[in-house]
């Protein structure tokens, strides 16, 4: 008892010494539902940069009532989710940074558009139009920009088709370093997981909010292996936008490896210049991909700077938004040899790919550099041409720079 008390006293003293700690107290204005959701909050590591959170409204609109409290609650709960998943995957309790106001609420930047809300609709190219105006806002207020990743939240359109019971009509996707989500009157954490229409809408739009933010933080689509999905549910960057908050939803280790080198996740003191011109493209040698004992064995020697190697297996077509099925792995990297090169290896048991039904396969190897740049290297093959002992020819083309 005494020991616990003195530990608590020590923690309280530490908290007072560092008022800008990553996990300040829950704001006074937070709802009971949010307090309950944040009751098991973990202390997150402090960030060097932060996500810009912009609430963008058309000139004929006001923000949806109580948006600061509702969006702050949703962002802090999501920050905890990402932090806990990063810790579970071995990267420490780290999440995207958020700027907090003195009262603990998230500093959400309200940007008012020059034109009516409809002009910024999904079908009007509202993403580009709003981003251009947000850019102007940051040029006029450079002190409000805390990193290169920006999350834009717009209220639903209100017309014959869209309203608070059927929100929509505004941009809703990840877009380079930006992503879009929407707001509506019942977008409130108290409905999360509720078996009601508002509960269903909440999973749809909050799951989407969590998933699109993942894209805006550099994440591609992916899913886990058969056994990971059985144990942990649905990958957030797979179909997790439809399960988040209502059934178990997780981040793959491959997603965490990418976030490890995403600018908003950088630890306090990490002064890396993210996403600049890559200094050294990685190259591979002595590469082999062999099918043996019901598993694919990938092995190669890696030359050049690289923090993580992810491997994705998927069915065709191999294009964006048809890649939800990409089963993600992180490869093992041995300690550097004398010349700095490292041996990289990965074993993929075939039963773990049972969700992939087609004969054609692509194996995509992603090289994640310290400054967040990534390179990829793809090889395609057919299962029907593979049997015990087959050595699958790897594409001779070396890793090429991949965009986001
Ligand atoms: Zn997506």
Q: How far, in Å, from the CA of 157 to the mean position of ligand 1?
A: 22
* 349-402 residue pLDDT tens: 999 999 999 999 999 999 999 999 999 999 999 999 999 999 999 998 888 888
How far is 242 from 234, CA to CA, in rounded Å? Answer: 9
Q: What's the pTM?
A: 0.92
Q: How far, in Å, from the CA of 98 to the mean position of ligand 1?
A: 22
pLDDT of residue 200: 94
Q: How far, in Å, from the CA of 176 to the mean position of ligand 1?
A: 12
Q: How far, in Å, from the CA of 385 to the mean position of ligand 1?
A: 32
pLDDT of residue 50: 97
Q: How far, in Å, from the CA of 210 to the mean position of ligand 1?
A: 10
Q: How far, in Å, from the CA of 65 to the mean position of ligand 1?
A: 28
pLDDT of residue 399: 87
Q: How far, in Å, from the CA of 211 to the mean position of ligand 1?
A: 6
* 67-98 residue pLDDT tens: 999 999 999 999 999 999 999 999 999 999 99
Q: How far, in Å, from the CA of 303 to the mean position of ligand 1?
A: 32
Q: How far, in Å, from the CA of 323 to the mean position of ligand 1?
A: 9
Q: How far, in Å, from the CA of 221 to the mean position of ligand 1?
A: 6
pLDDT of residue 397: 84
The low-confidence residues of the chain, meaning pLDDT below 70, are 1-24, 404
Q: How far, in Å, from the CA of 327 to the mean position of ligand 1?
A: 15
* 185-208 residue pLDDT tens: 999 999 999 999 999 999 999 999
pLDDT of residue 23: 54
Q: How far, in Å, from the CA of 304 to the mean position of ligand 1?
A: 31
Q: How far, in Å, from the CA of 249 to the mean position of ligand 1?
A: 14
Q: How far, in Å, from the CA of 219 to the mean position of ligand 1?
A: 9
């Amino acid at each position: 008892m005494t020991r616990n008390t003195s530990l608590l006293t020590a923690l309280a003293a530490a908290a007072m010494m560092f008022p800008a700690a990553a996990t300040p107290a829950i704001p006074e204005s937070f709802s009971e539902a949010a307090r309950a959701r944040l009751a098991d909050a973990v202390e997150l590591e402090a960030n060097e940069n932060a996500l810009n959170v912009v609430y963008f409204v058309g000139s004929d609109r006001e923000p949806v009532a109580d948006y600061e409290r509702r969006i702050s609650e949703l962002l802090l709960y999501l920050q905890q989710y990402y932090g806990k998943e990063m810790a579970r995957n071995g990267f420490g309790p780290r999440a995207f940074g958020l700027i907090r106001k003195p009262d603990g609420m998230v500093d959400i930047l309200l940007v008012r558009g020059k034109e009516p809300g409809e002009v910024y609709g999904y079908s009007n190219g509202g993403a580009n139009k709003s981003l251009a105006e947000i850019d102007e806002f940051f040029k006029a207020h450079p002190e409000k920009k805390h990193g290169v990743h920006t999350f834009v939240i717009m209220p639903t359109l209100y017309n014959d088709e869209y309203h608070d019971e059927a929100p929509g009509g505004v941009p809703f996707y990840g877009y380079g370093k930006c992503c879009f989500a929407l707001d509506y009157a019942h977008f409130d954490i108290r409905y999360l997981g509720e078996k009601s229409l508002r509960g269903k809408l909440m999973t749809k739009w909050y799951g989407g909010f969590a998933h699109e933010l993942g894209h805006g933080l550099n994440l591609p689509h992916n899913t886990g292996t058969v056994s990971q999905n059985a144990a942990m549910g649905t990958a957030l960057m797979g179909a997790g936008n439809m399960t988040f908050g209502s059934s178990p939803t997780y981040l793959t280790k491959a997603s965490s490896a990418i976030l490890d080198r995403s600018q908003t996740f950088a630890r306090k003191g990490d002064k890396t210049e993210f996403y600049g011109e890559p200094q050294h493209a990685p190259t591979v040698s002595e590469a082999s991909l062999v099918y043996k004992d019901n598993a694919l064995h990938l092995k190669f020697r890696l030359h050049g700077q690289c923090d993580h190697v992810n491997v994705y297996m998927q069915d065709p077509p191999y294009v964006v938004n048809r890649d939800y099925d990409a089963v993600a792995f992180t490869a093992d990297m041995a300690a550097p040899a004398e010349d700095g090169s490292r041996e990289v290896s990965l074993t993929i048991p075939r039963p773990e790919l049972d969700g992939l039904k087609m004969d054609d396969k692509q194996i995509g190897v992603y090289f994640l550099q310290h400054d967040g740049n990534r390179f990829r290297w793809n090889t395609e093959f057919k299962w029907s041409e593979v049997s015990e002992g087959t050595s699958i020819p790897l594409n001779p083309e070396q890793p090429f720079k991949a965009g986001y």
